Structure 1
């Protein structure tokens, strides 16, 4: 009897929710790999940040649960007969999380902010298809009302384009097109001030299905269901806890212990065991990303295309994907995955160690002699380390080149490759379901051209692709651009991503999309 009395309080605690008639909160635990760099959609450049922001913010158009474009804040849209004007009708019930109405003017003000040069938004060029956007961003136009962004009515937004851009709706799903709350940003600091603290939990206001509840470095970032979201009646989760876990092994152990429902990745050595023993928990899905190594072409000897091509041609991508990454990745011999969005691309080069050695000798480094010791930079993660070590060994064996490996924590790494450019060769990744976005970033002076590479012929072809009257003609220009990339090799394509992930059977409705942009509002949890 004494033993029963001792356990009675615990039983009572466990039974309390049922006795009270209220179910336990539905809390989804998700691994995101790293602490987010920021939560300002106009500043961020990383995939982990974008995943989180899709819970907190919503754009005009979203990627729906079926992986296709779906209405977001815009309940409908129309394209003019000449393809030069898109008109969006916004939901009148849309609200910011502080209860303020969300209007077309908020979108126009958001676009003006990202195009303000002082903000230093690295993805501002994604708005250049709109009339006047580039001129305003570059200071050639000072009156924003003369751009193609207009709000003729409170819930009517109009975009006027420089030329038809069939890929624009896909662009609108990306973070830089999200609205930001200028009424909050202006209260906290200057709107064009990088690092404005409006994204702290105590200030943050969004318009998504969830609101920011807690965010501290090294701790889970917590979002809670928003009471002001227009579609709140369909949201099933009460909270999502995003866990910043850089070590994939630790993340996998937490999944096995039931402390994570969804991982960011899977350790390569664990993929085969999960395939055998827990196939229902393992998902390996297509992903619109390219894994690459980017050269700093501002620095010798990487200003010589022969050196860059030698390093690229020496790699054995089949071995890297089969024995190192092990996630079903596709070896990459082009910049854009063939078949992406219907793009009929094709390999533009092939592995050729003998040609690699010839190129290196022609550049003045026969057998690797006299080649300066170089550093290969990657952000801290087991899968990046393992791949870098395999590449290091391959170049030593095939080319006689010694490589030092350097890893940096996520935010330091982003600053190194995007701002200080204090690297020789660095790991890179680029994720999009649109071929144009893969290719436009290598134009001269583009903010995301980490290589610092420039080629006048490539720039002309990009302009011709944008002006192409048909998709087929645009794709022809893309293939010509890919040929130049293969000849110049400002970066080394390694493989086209898949996305290995562990998903608990308790998670309902979740799927991976090509941009990892699944709407969190559509996810549910089984008790």
Structure 2
């Protein structure tokens, strides 16, 4: 089976190379605008890039995708920001301080802040925006994660938003009271979900405010000048941004391309200077090229089983499906060594309480998933399925595995199809368009689905929280009273070491239940012309182009 997949991968590589040719790394911005967008004026600097297809949403409160997060990043400025070293720095707030007991955070906004339409932006706008995230009518997937520690959140999330302890004693001061200390609250204040949004445009336009350039009022380095779905988003420099002098580009054009092969052609022909969607088949030929970049991520690629379905309610079934996967083969062969085999849910690079890697301190120092002997794992998987009442897969319903067609998803899905066939199970692969894929998965309208989580900030809770009962990002619909209790204890614990212990215990429960199936630890690969300077890629998967420049 593995030889067949290796041959299939080689065949795809050969066909793609034949169709696309080879890349000489000499891409330059297109001087024309054949798609109908306004061509940049002579002497103007325009960066053209591709970081994803049509976003599901670019409403800061509703977005859950990385491409959407980058689009929001270009247009909005949070209280705090993240620099190229992944450190927290000033944003709309020029200084900030927590109280000695950690229960009050005070943010001092810069004087003279403005929205992109020129109107004044004050601390009251942050109060409105944060209460909007907490409001159940908004249905913000991240509400619990980013505001759950704020005093009054439970009442606010039940509908009484004025109970959320976020106040503006004056136009330049925002005060946030917490129910319990949160050492990483500064990281939350730099997270795109908590961007300020303009109350007037939202009240006038409703949900449609974030779908049209003329109503997308923002406060960041750029504003949206044009937006043609399935084609491009054109950003223009925002003269009302407080740090406009640091913005060197006049415009940024984000091509909305879903097909990786089309993105690669656009890069080769010079239509774009950067692409995130590199065809997997091209990677072996590109690995040593100077414009090929492989960047570390704090991320886990995993498989969601819809735990509300009766066929996945038995832990033995979930464990069997996990053990039947040869993760070393997936990471080293199918993913061509750009990812690594997962041994847990929380991956490398994520800090524990003492600065060490969280992954090295759990489960008594042993991996939760032992990838050293796949044949033994497969034998155990077959026995577990038999013990669950499905010997050789008999009586188990056919499985539909949902993916979107980017990166490694299709080749991995085809492998899973064959791997679970070894258990006697039938798997059908359903390829879903990106714009529909996320809402479908979030709603639980699937049986099995590929998934992945890139941490929004470096704390293991950011990953572990998504599997708490009722969390807006809990696509697996996993629910465990024991897990929830441990996560709630961690959230309320002030002592870092004790808090870490609760988080490790929670991962123990999760991995014993196999509430979701970790597959690989991710990295990010892309192609970027070296004429782009001053940009960076964060471990959270965001592309920081807002302060970039173009050499030459």
Q: Do both share a fold (TM > 0.5)?
A: yes
On the 8 A contact 2:536/2:545 being kept in 1, the answer is no
Q: Secondary structure at the match of 1:134?
A: helix
Match of 1:425 among 448, 472, 491: 448
Superposition pairs of residues 258-297 of structure 1, within 5 angstroms: 258-276=270-288, 278=289, 280-297=290-307
Q: Provide the residue aligned with 1:180 in structure 2.
A: 197
Long gaps (5+) in structure 2 = 1-30, 33-40, 361-366, 372-376
1:135 aligns with 2:155: yes
* Deviation for aligned residue 1:345: 2.1
Q: Does 1:213 align with 2:213?
A: no
Name the residue aligned to 1:253: 265
Go from structure 1 to structure 2 and tell me whether the alpha carbon gap of 1:286 and 1:382 turns closer, same or farther (over 3 Å shift).
closer
Aligned-residue RMSD, C-alpha: 1.7
Deviation at 1:328, TM superposition (A): 2.1
Q: Describe the superposition over 1:277-319 as per-residue Cα deviations: whole angstroms up to 9, x where unpaired.
A: x2x1011011122111101111121111111111011111111
Shift of 1:147: 2.6
Aligned to 2:531: 506
Cα offset, 1:210, TM superposition: 0.2
User: Higher mean Cα deviation, 304-313 or 60-69?
Assistant: 60-69
1:377 maps to which residue? Answer: 402
Q: What per-residue deviation string (whole Å, max 9, x for no partner) do you get for residues 22-78 of structure 1?
A: 962111111122101122111111111111110011101111122221111111111
> Is residue 133 of structure 2 the alignment partner of residue 119 of structure 1?
no
Is 1:85 the counterpart of 2:104? The answer is yes
Alignment partner of 1:324 is 2:334:
yes
1:234-259 deviation per Cα after TM superposition (whole angstroms, max 9, x unaligned)? 10111111111111122122212222
How far, CA to CA, are the matches of 1:293 and 1:367 in structure 2?
22
Report SS of the residue matched to 1:255: helix
Structure 1 CA distance for aligned equivalents of residues 128 and 176 of structure 2: 13
Aligned to 2:320: 310
- How many correspondences in the alignment? 496
Partner of 2:267, secondary structure, is helix
Residue 181 of structure 2 is matched in structure 1 by 164
**Contact kept? 2:70, 2:544, Cα under 8 Å:** no
Indicate conservation of the 8 Å contact 2:347/2:521, yes or no. yes
CA contact (8 A) 1:508 1:523 kept: yes
Note if 1:201 corresponds to 2:224: no
Segment of structure 1 superposing worse, 34-43 or 324-333: 324-333
Query: For structure 1, which runs of at least 5 residues remain unmatched after alignment?
Result: 1-12, 15-21, 190-194
Q: Distance in 1 between matches of 2:348 and 2:57?
A: 33
Please give the alpha-carbon distance, in whole angstroms, between the structure 1 residues aligned to 2:338 and 2:55. 27
Q: Which residue of 2 aligns with 1:411?
A: 435
Question: In 1, are the aligned partners of 2:277 and 2:407 still within 8 Å (CA)?
Answer: no
Name the TM-score, length of structure 2 as normaliser: 0.87
Relative to the length of structure 1, the TM-score reads 0.91
The 5 A counterparts of 1:43-122 are 43-122=62-141
CA apart distance, 1:497? 0.9
Q: What do the CA deviations read for 1:339-370 (whole angstroms, capped 9, x no partner)?
A: 41344224323242121111111111112222
Give 2:475's aligned residue: 450
Per the alignment, in what secondary structure is the counterpart of residue 537 of structure 2? coil
CA contact (8 A) 1:291 1:493 kept: yes
Contact 2:396 2:425 in 1 (8 A): yes
| 1:150 alignment counterpart | 167
Shift of 1:411: 1.9
